[in-house]
Amino acid sequence: MSGEHRLMWRGGIILLVIALALVVWWPRSSPDALTQADALFAAGRYYEALEAYQGLARANPAALLRVGMLRVIRGEAVLAERTLRSAMVQGLAPGDYHLALLYLGQALVDDGRLAQAERTWALLEDCRVVEACVYHGPGRVLTAEAYLEQGAYDAAIEAYRAALMVPMPSGWSERVHYRLALLLAGEDPDEALATLMATDDVETSGVLADPLLFMLEGDRAHLRAVLQVEERLRPQLLGQTYLEAGLYDRAITQFTLVDPDSPEGLSAAAYLAYAHWLAGHTGEGHEALEAMAGLHPDAPQVRALLALIAVAEGADDDAWLELDALAQGHPQAADRHLARASWYAAKGEYAQASLAYEQALGAAPFEEQGRYALLAARFHLATTYELCSVGLPLAERALERLPEEVDALVLVAGVRYQCGDGRGAIEAAQAAEAREARADAAFYLGAALAATGEDEAARAALIRASDLAPASRWRERAELLLATMPQRHNLTPTADRVR
């Protein structure tokens, strides 16, 4: 063999070794990075997970899928849909493809396309691969939610029941039992209670779907208490529960069942009229409340509901008359000033609102001054009107009266930060976080730390704010501030950083 051929042969061997090394190395390195990013996602560390997924997404459709999922969680429906469809076109394993369908349906719902979302979730019924079946049940759950959104209660009940017939990831069946019990409560309280208390032994692992579960709100303890109350009181309480859940037709049915001569009769009649108004029967609801106001001029609930309707309809003069009548009937002069303050603030007349808040605080009894100071300081922080000269002393006064109140601590942190007291803001925000994990407290802590030059601690707090409320203004504000900070290097997640 000539020297030239020997060199060519040796070079070919080297290339073959490199190629084999790449074949062996690539499957190990890429899935490992994706697994680590998934661990961040599962721990609720969405900001860092997004960074990690974006670093992998160019050459990995599974990572691109997860970027789309995070866009859904962050409330970015249009961008989420585009990203999810791109990942699906590039090619996904069956389990990931069904996960994409699950999140795509939610993005479509968030964009107001309920019918298209239902058709998307219907594709999850094709469950011939084990890893794809994980999202079979959640697809039925979210379909039921879509029916509920449309007011199709019977279809929602059927879909919830269908969801309970298949295994679901941990936590999903419990939430479905609550939703189904809520819908059944008016017609069959006993079945509703049994449904609420039922448990399912068969569960599957599907942690990547969990953020969609948390979009389904529900207070099991409250519903259980309503179902167990004596029969005479149940329609009134259940009607209010339905009203709060936005199930207006169900609320109307329950309020109609309340005996008009009972102690709850007037309240139920007022809420019945308001439920009609909320359900779109605006003339009927408004006229009924007006009639009640004529018969019961001192009924505060009737006046309050009329004021709410007037504000919603833009009838400013009517709203003011109702608020004034409501305030005059109240034994505390402080509440009259508070009603005026709220009115002026809504109209953008900040000087008048500030004066009314001051008058309310001056008229309030000592034990109530913390609450009034809190409301007044919150107005100044929201509008920034005379924030440091008037708002800051009000916030400090609120905290003095309510030292254990998380809302007061967060408010003080925000006002101190805006007024340049970085160390004071840090102290208040840390005290708030010690009591409750809240995005607003984490944001003010991060902002104050950044203002004092503590970049690493600031970054951690701002990321925490982003993770705690990914679809809120606190995430948006936190990320705007993060973008102005010096960027760290070596952002790839490692196992020891995963909680």
Using the predicted structure, report yes or no on whether residue 132 has a pLDDT greater than 60.
Answer: yes
CA distance 37 to 99: 16
Using the predicted structure, report yes or no on whether residue 340 has a pLDDT greater than 90.
Answer: no
pLDDT tens for each residue of 243-253: 888 899 999 99
pLDDT tens for each residue of 388-428: 999 999 999 999 999 989 999 999 999 999 999 999 999 99
Q: What is the per-residue pLDDT for 319?
A: 66
Query: Do 26 and 59 contact (CB within 8 A), yes or no?
Result: no
CA distance 412 to 430: 11
CA distance 427 to 349: 33
Dihedral sign (CA 315, 316, 319, 325): negative
Using the predicted structure, report yes or no on whether residue 364 has a pLDDT greater than 60.
Answer: yes
b/e code 262-297 from CB counts within 10 Å (16+ = b): eebebbbbbbbbbbbbbbebeeebbebbeebbeeee
Bigger pLDDT: 296 vs 65: 65
CA distance 401 to 441: 20
The DSSP code for 233 is T
The DSSP code for 387 is I
Q: What is the per-residue pLDDT for 221?
A: 87
Q: What is the per-residue pLDDT for 498?
A: 36
Q: What is the per-residue pLDDT for 42?
A: 92
Q: Indicate the pLDDT class of residue 150, thresholds 50, 70 and 90.
A: confident
Closest CA to 495 of 16, 32, 55: 32
What residue segments make up the domains of the chain, in order of their start?
A: 404-499
What are the φ/ψ torsions at residue 364 (nearest 5 degrees)? -75, 145
% of the chain residues with pLDDT over 70: 85
pTM of the model: 0.81
Bigger pLDDT: 430 vs 218: 430
Its CATH class, for the domain covering 404-499, is mainly alpha
Q: What is the per-residue pLDDT for 25?
A: 37
pLDDT tens for each residue of 15-72: 333 333 433 333 334 569 999 999 999 999 999 999 999 999 998 999 999 999 999 9
Q: Indicate the pLDDT class of residue 497, thresholds 50, 70 and 90.
A: very low
Closest CA to 160 of 186, 192, 189: 192
What are the φ/ψ torsions at residue 130 (nearest 5 degrees)? -55, -45
Q: Indicate the pLDDT class of residue 496, thresholds 50, 70 and 90.
A: very low
